[in-house]
Amino acid sequence: MAKMGPTMESWESDQNSEDDKDIPILDASMLHSSVDFEKGMSWWPPVTLLLIVACVVFFCFQAATGGLTDLNRMTEMGALSKPHVAQGEFWRLLSGPFLHASHDHLIGNLLMLFVLGMACEHAFGSSQFVFLYVVAAVGGSCASLIHDSVSVGASGAIFGLAGALVGLFRRNKSLLHLRDRRIGFVIGFWVVYQIVCGLLSPQIDNLAHAGGFCTGLLLGIVTPPALLNDRDEFGRRPAVRLMLVAASTVLVMASVSFIPRLIPS
């Protein structure tokens, strides 16, 4: 009896078996690939640099008009003061974070503002970053009002940026990839170091640090990151635009009362 060739049915079965081998099996890691956090991060974050310039300009006015050596003059310019806020000068909640007590105070804060601001502005987008910074600054100032001392410095807002990054990575730890995890340890060490210094020195406003950090932490958890979305489309969202308008309005209103005080009457 002669051997028969493969039937059509058997050939189709073999072909289907070969095709099945080309179909990949999906798992969770393939469905949820992480985003490189540092990719595309700009060394020239516009809002962060604008904040730095503003702090430097205001510091120059302080140095030129006695606002570094005279506590009364510093308070007159816009330092955070509980009695003045109680009298309705709420703009001091924002003016205080733009003033500083010394050259060292300014330089230390601006270095951390640049590092943390660059990361936060990249992660949340410029519009949300303005909102985050303003709210964290106000949160730090509100906590500082628990005591009666005059307070100045951007560290409350800067702690807010650190808190926002912690909240961001806590909520999106499976979606974000950080190339160098030592960055997190550096930020954590800086936060702990500042708090310890505050405990050892009555001149450091730890309440502002704690208030700013907690405010930023909450914002970092609930604020959607621009990094995980299309940035152009994200910036056009009504909620994002509303955040920018709200923060800008508060800044302008505070500036109307604050800036004229930079020049002695």
Q: Find tokens 């070969």 and name the residue.
A: 18
Q: Give, rounded to a whole angstrom, the gap between the first and last alpha carbons of the chain.
A: 118
Annotated catalytic residue 177? no
Of 127, 141, 151, 155, catalytic: 155
Tokens of 6: 């493969």
The one-letter code for the residue type at 226 is A
Side chain identity at residue 105, one-letter code: H
The answer to whether 122 is a known catalytic residue is: no
Nearest to 94 by CA among 117, 70, 78: 78
Enumerate the β-bridge partners of residue 36. 177
What does the alpha-carbon distance between residue 94 and residue 116 come to, in Å, rounded to a whole number? 19
Confirm if 110 and 27 have CB atoms less than 8 A apart.
no
Closest CA to 178 of 67, 37, 52, 34: 37
Pick the catalytic residue: 147, 209, 257, 265? 209
Active-site residue numbers?
155, 209
